[in-house]
Amino acid sequence: MGEKQNILITGAASGIGRASALRMAKSHHVIVADRDGDGAGTVTSEIVAAGGTATAIAVDVSDGASVRAMKAQIESNIGPVLSAFFAAGIFIRGVTGEIPEADWDRMMDIHVKGTFLCCQAVIPDMIAANKGAIVNMSSDFAVMAVPGAAAYMAAKSAIYSLTKSIALEFAPQNIRANALGPGPIDTPILKSGRTEAEYAKAREAFAENLPIGRLGQPEEVAAVLDFLLSDRSAYMTGQIIHPNGGQLMW
Amino acid sequence: METMIVTGAGSGIGSALTRRLLDENYHVSAWDTDPGDLAGANDENLDFCELDVRDADAMSAAVAGAVGKTGKIAGLATCAAIFHTRPFLDVTEDEWDSHLSINLKGTLLACQAVLPQMLEQKSGSILLFASSIARRGAAESAAYAATKGGVLGLGRAIALDHARAGIRANILSPGITDTPQPRGNMSEDALYDWADNIPLGRIGMPEDMLGTALFLLSDEASFVTGQDIRVNGGASLF
């Protein structure tokens, strides 16, 4: 991926999305999309301050009208997007028997429908160019299990399956789709629902239990994202890569 | 300058990887029973060691030689393997043993030759080449499939055993690739016609494996260990 491209990243205001935006902006124009428009603006400013170029867009990926508006804005102001990372996500802890229906719906809307809508939005440009690379944010939990995360696990499994479907359907148009399946990464999502003290304790527990002996950093996931969007992975599609410190091996 | 070690370096993906690593400014200790594609290669950073991966002493000596030269082993890529197709009931014990000893035990011995130095450095990246056949199986390929399944287990075990020592181990599983290996078992036409079975519409080239191999061998993949990365044009999605 030598030439400068437009790269769309959702969930780009924080965590892995943000680290990916900062990294990709070193050689590309990044569209920093997030529900948190102010946060997207802050990341965009950081990119510009570092000498890169970026565009901030506020979007609710679970809302088709909002995703279409984002697409229209990109079309008229920026141009075709042939490279995209859909990382928008939330985490709600909950024992399966007690998950409120609204929480379930929100998890599915943001993760699964959001990924679906965003892929639908960018694929036509890719078909026209006969080239494209999509990376969707899944998780180790697409494959392994922990208690208290049924909705998140179901959502991340669904994203992995969706990614494989897209990979098969659009391979003839030279569009690749792969998934990222991170393990525990030091991000706001990992911290969500935990107090500072609880998070400090959780970090210790992760470090103790992970083969590699430490939490991952968002930049380490961004490095894998960069690989998957680049021509270095030109013959890979429909795969999931797990930057997870050895938490899951399959 | 740091050393990368490649087994099976004389042909196929191994020789392509050796050349790429030289381009990337590594010293390469290239191991094979025959120099093959590397015959006549004239690069001061290339040390070809004529050895068999069943020979642990020869590999330890080659590691010592490389350490003497650069002081550091950055990584090991194990490409050495044989692949003979045979109907299951016709597989001889000798044929079984040669697959197991070269493809699987040879991989173990190469890792054992390199690991003491990596443990001393507290760094190093190991990349084992398996195959999409490890998960999918293939007709008339029992011995090969068993060894490549074994490589998956071996790679994960190395990753778990040495993660705390700063050593990563991963696996790269290519789909069918344009190298001498499949030509031992299929015609030229059949090899290229295989593209019809591959979503991306072509068989793999050795170069297709190199981007992934270099990524996994490098510090870019610092949080990736114990993984099996499948580079197969979408032909196998699990």
Which tens digit of pLDDT belongs to each residue from B44-89? Answer: 999 999 999 999 999 999 999 999 999 999 999 999 999 999 999 9
* Active-site residue flag, B144: yes
Sheet holding A132-137, edge to edge: A53-58, A29-34, A6-10, A83-86, A132-137, A175-180, A240-241
Contact B1/A at CB under 8 A: no
Q: Fill in the amino acid letter for A22.
A: L
Check residue A94 and report its DSSP letter. Answer: B
Which tens digit of pLDDT belongs to each residue from A5-35? Answer: 999 999 999 999 999 999 999 999 999 999 9
Give the global pTM: 0.95
In a domain, B127, yes or no: yes
What ipTM was assigned to the predicted interfaces of this complex? 0.92
What is the residue range of B87's domain? 3-231
Contact B224/A at CB under 8 A: yes
Cβ–Cβ below 8 Å for A211 and B159: yes
In a domain, B237, yes or no: no
Which tens digit of pLDDT belongs to each residue from A185-217? Answer: 999 999 988 999 999 999 999 999 999 999 999
Residue B192 has pLDDT above 70, yes or no: yes
Chain B residues within an 8 Å CB radius of A168:
199, 234, 237
Residue B153 has pLDDT above 60, yes or no: yes
Name the strand (E) or helix (H) holding B78: strand B73-78
For B57, phi then psi, to 5°, come to -65, -40
Name the strand (E) or helix (H) holding B16: helix B12-23
- B216 CA to chain A: closest CA distance, Å? 10
Chain A residues within an 8 Å CB radius of B221:
223-224, 227, 243
Exposed e or buried b per residue across B149-184, where buried means at least 16 C-beta atoms within 10 angstroms of its C-beta: bbbbebbbebbbebbeebbbbbbbbbbbbbbebbee
Exposed e or buried b per residue across A117-127, where buried means at least 16 C-beta atoms within 10 angstroms of its C-beta: bbbebbbebbe
- B58 CA to chain A: closest CA distance, Å? 31
- From the list B26, B31, B129, B144, the catalytic residue is B144
Residue A92 has pLDDT above 50, yes or no: yes
The CATH number assigned to the domain holding B104 equals: 3.40.50.720
Cβ pair A90, A36 in contact under 8 A: no
CB atoms within 10 A of CB B54: 16
- A242 CA to chain B: closest CA distance, Å? 7
- Provide the pLDDT confidence category of residue A75 given band limits of 50, 70 and 90: very high
Cβ–Cβ below 8 Å for B227 and A241: yes
pLDDT of residue B118: 98
- A119 CA to chain B: closest CA distance, Å? 18
Which tens digit of pLDDT belongs to each residue from A226-235? Answer: 999 999 999 9
Token code pair at residue B238? 């699990």
- Provide the pLDDT confidence category of residue B148 given band limits of 50, 70 and 90: very high
Please, how many CA atoms are within 13 Å of residue B97, restricted to the half-sphere of its CB?
A: 3
In a domain, B49, yes or no: yes
CA–CA gap between residue B119 and residue B55 (Å, rounded):
21
Chain B residues within an 8 Å CB radius of A171:
199-201, 233-234
Cβ–Cβ below 8 Å for A235 and B232: yes
In a domain, B174, yes or no: yes
Residue ranges covered by each domain of chain A: 6-183+219-241
Chain A residues within an 8 Å CB radius of B204:
235
In a domain, B236, yes or no: no
| B233, closest residue in chain A (CA to CA) | A235
pLDDT of residue A94: 86
Q: Which of B125, B128, B210, B223 to mutate to test the interface with A (most CBs of A within 10 A)?
A: B223
CA–CA gap between residue A138 and residue B94 (Å, rounded):
45
Chain B residues within an 8 Å CB radius of A249:
156, 159-160, 226-228
Q: How far is CA B156 from CA A67, A227, B90, B164, in A?
A: 41, 22, 32, 14
Check residue A215 and report its DSSP letter. Answer: P
Cβ pair A238, B199 in contact under 8 A: yes
* Total of domains in chain B: 1
- Beta-carbon contacts of B236 under 8 Å, excluding residues fewer than 6 positions away, are B132, B135, B136, B175, B230
pLDDT of residue A1: 44
- Provide the pLDDT confidence category of residue A2 given band limits of 50, 70 and 90: low
What A61-67 contacts at long range (C-beta under 8 Å, 24+ apart), as own/partner pairs, is A61/A10, A61/A33, A61/A35, A61/A86, A61/A88, A61/A110, A61/A113, A61/A114, A61/A115, A61/A117, A61/A118, A62/A106, A62/A109, A62/A110, A62/A113, A62/A114, A62/A117, A64/A117, A67/A114, A67/A117, A67/A118, A67/A120, A67/A121
Q: Which of B178, B179, B205, B224 to mutate to test the interface with A (most CBs of A within 10 A)?
A: B224
Chain B residues within an 8 Å CB radius of A227:
211-212, 215, 220-221
Which tens digit of pLDDT belongs to each residue from B84-132? Answer: 999 999 999 999 999 999 999 999 999 999 999 999 999 999 999 999 9
Percent of chain B with pLDDT over 90: 99
Residue A154 has pLDDT above 70, yes or no: yes
Q: Spell out the CATH class of A6-183+219-241.
A: alpha beta
